[in-house]
Every structure is written in structure tokens, then in C-alpha cells.
Amino acid sequence: MLTYIRNRRKLVILIHEIYGVNEQMHLFAQWLDHLGTDVVCPDLLSKEEPFKEFLEEEAYQYFMNHVGFEKGSIAINRIIHQFQNKYDDIYLIGFSVGATIAWIYSAQSRSLKGVICFYGSRIRDYDQLDPKCPVTLFLAHDEKSFSVDDFIIKLKDRNYENVDLHLLEAKHGFANPFSEQFDDQVYQQALAQVKSMLKQLS
């Protein structure tokens, strides 16, 4: 488990994508640490080493076969219960499959201060869930596996009370500096919004 625990008021639980606790998660955790929040990033894969980005298909199959979304949300639930009495505010920030796990959990508990999801494309399989806390979705417009425009129409039809949607002109993976889809300009825009949200929700 990757941690930056300095006994501050806020905790962010990072939920990694299919690759595990990789360099992307380390960099993002450091960024959050500098913002002044404690950080925990559990290793849902339980592997000694994370997958490299070029092993996308292998990493995806491993995640689906050994973790999955429901088991992942149960693991995050355990982490939240472990830390909930030590912090005033707890947030979830997830990437890809981690974003979908964060979305699933947001519909199960009102104890979270907020949830931020980066390109959680499989949220489309759980769009019937209604978040009980503020959720911000950063969606990439360019997704290989589904129509983002159709998904957005579906989300808007749900008329969620707690969901703030941001559609970004980028590809899935734009927030991972080690991915071919990384888009620094879009990423910096998203980081600015995340920073603002964490301060606003304090």
C-alpha cells in the first residue's frame, strides 16, 4: 500500500487502474501530499510489481479475473472503515477501473466528502446507481469501446443530483504521464479543477 500519512484532517484514497500501484499513482500521491492531504493507495492487484502500460490487455485480464469491480469496492470499503474515525473528510479519486469502483462505492455510503473519477468508462454498466455524495466525472471524449456522447445523454437523462460532469477533448488515459494517450494540457486543466474541488469541499 502506498501511503502519505501525516495526521492531517483530510484523506484521499486513490484507486488505481488496471496496472496497479505504478509510477502514475506515486506521482499523483506526491501531488496530493503537497496539497496538504493524507493519501492512501491500496494495491488491489496484490502483486509485487505493477503492470507496465504496454501490457494493457494482460493487465485488464488479470484485473477482471482476480479483482473485478464488486470485489474492488469491498476492498475500498474496508480501507474507508479502517481510516474513517481518524479524518474529518475522506475522498475517493479513481482512474479507469478505479473510477468505476469509486462510482460504485459512492452509491453505497454518505460518509464520503467527495468522489472524483477519471475516465471510468465501465461506469456505463453501473449507471443505474445513484451517488449519495458529490461525484465529479472527468470523461475522455475519445473512447475506443463505446460512444461517449450516447453515455452522456444517458447520464443526463438520469438527472443525478450529485454528479458534476466534465467532457474533455482527450483520449482514455490522458492523466497517465506514462501512457501514449497522455495529454499534459488537458491533464493540467483537470488537476486545477481537482485542486479547486478539494479546497471547496473542505
Distance CA 121, CA 150 (A): 12
What does the pLDDT read at residue 198? 87
Q: Does residue 202 have a pLDDT over 70?
A: no
The pLDDT, as a whole number, for residue 197 is 87
Q: Whole domain around residue 186: which residue ranges? A: 2-200
* Residue 162 backbone dihedrals phi, psi, to 5 degrees: -110, 10
In this predicted model, what pLDDT tens digit does every residue of 32-77 receive, in sequence order?
999 999 999 999 999 989 999 999 999 999 999 999 999 999 999 9
Number of folded domains that form the chain: 1
- For 2-40, how does the pLDDT look when each residue is reduced to its tens digit (9 = 90+)? 999 999 999 999 999 999 999 999 999 999 999 999 999
Show Cβ contacts of residue 35 under 8 Å, excluding neighbours closer than 6 positions: 195, 198
Q: Give the pTM.
A: 0.95
List 138's β-bridge partners, or say none: 118, 166
Sign of torsion over alpha carbons 54, 58, 60, 63: negative
Q: Residue 11: what pLDDT?
A: 97
CATH number reported for the structural domain that contains residue 148 in this entry: 3.40.50.1820
For residue 107, pLDDT beyond 80: yes
Cα 160 from chain centroid?
19
Q: For the packed helices 97-106 and 68-83, what is the interaxial angle rounded to 10 degrees?
A: 60
